[in-house]
Amino acid sequence: MKLLKKFWISLLFSQISGAYGNDWIKIDTFEESENIHSWHQIDTKNETRPFINNPQITEIKTENANNKYLLKKPAENGVIGNRKALTFKKLPMPVQVGEIYTFYTRINVESFPNNHAFGLSNLDKQGIINHDYNAFEPTLRVTDKTESSGLVNTGALMVKTDQGYANIINPVSQKSAKPLQTNTWYEIWYIVNNSPKSQGGQTYDVFMKGGAEFPNQTQVYHQATFRMKREQTLTHFLMNCNTGPHNAPYGNGGLKYDDIFMARGVNLLSPKELNNQSF
């Protein structure tokens, strides 16, 4: 197993300068406030009482003089009942069936408790609105909510598997990673294989850097699975969050997003290293 992992990592790095181009393509860095209008914001299961139109909080904030980011929350603190707070944007380059692309995203947990998911969809605008969570294919999740089964999520970064969701793994301990630290930026690379399932595709690998647990770039999951496996062109970057039902609210803790990029093939450098981006 260790030899297989070493081979896979070696293969990944060899492809960085191999057959695929490795220029990062910007999805959004949120440095321009008007960029917020390029994102669709739709609350598809709004059960707030008293009713609030468009309860989700999705806004560009300033961290310091040199950086802006997107803050996403399902609703203002104290408001419950917004069950599907969707925010999504068309990719600058579609990922065709059979292609491999690396996606890069920085995230920062404003606070727990929360329930957030983000990733990619292969549906159009109306399809995303109609399917909400099932619009996702590669999916990453941040939550400490309690499932209906009684399972208590820890706040560790999660991926999608055929059995549900799974925590990312610390390869040193071979155990689930620790909960994400709040007010801490994490870099995430997810290498998306949009080949047909019969060819080993509809899967993605995840690398992470950030916090006390991962001071260096580390592979934290191998072959997570697409949610629906529709084997279609990936078209949108999608975020979703949820306050939970009225009788068991999850909380409105926000998740910060910044520096969302994509690159053809496998790319384990950061956009800052290649494109001289200012984080």
Q: Is 4 a residue whose pLDDT tops 50?
A: no
Alpha carbons 203 and 224: distance in angstroms, whole number? 5
Alpha carbons 137 and 73: distance in angstroms, whole number? 21
Q: Is 8 a residue whose pLDDT tops 60?
A: no
The CATH number of domain 2-275, selected from 2.40.180.10, 2.60.120.560, 3.40.50.300, 2.30.30.790 = 2.60.120.560
CB 96 within 8 A of CB 260: no
Report pLDDT for 22.
63
Mean pLDDT, rounded, for 149-154: 92
- Judged by DSSP in three states, 12 sits in helix
- Kindly give, in sequence order, each residue whose CB lies less than 8 Å from that of residue 166, ignoring residues fewer than 6 positions away: 158, 159, 221, 224
The pTM of this model reads: 0.91
CB 206 within 8 A of CB 140: yes
- Predicted confidence band of residue 148 (pLDDT cuts 50, 70, 90): confident
Q: What pLDDT, in 10s, does the model give residues 127-144?
A: 999 999 999 999 999 999
Q: Is 207 a residue whose pLDDT tops 50?
A: yes
Phi, psi angles (nearest 5°) of residue 94: -70, 150
More confident residue, 270 or 34: 270
CB 237 within 8 A of CB 260: yes
Alpha carbons 225 and 259: distance in angstroms, whole number? 24
CB atoms within 10 A of CB 114: 26
- Predicted confidence band of residue 21 (pLDDT cuts 50, 70, 90): very low
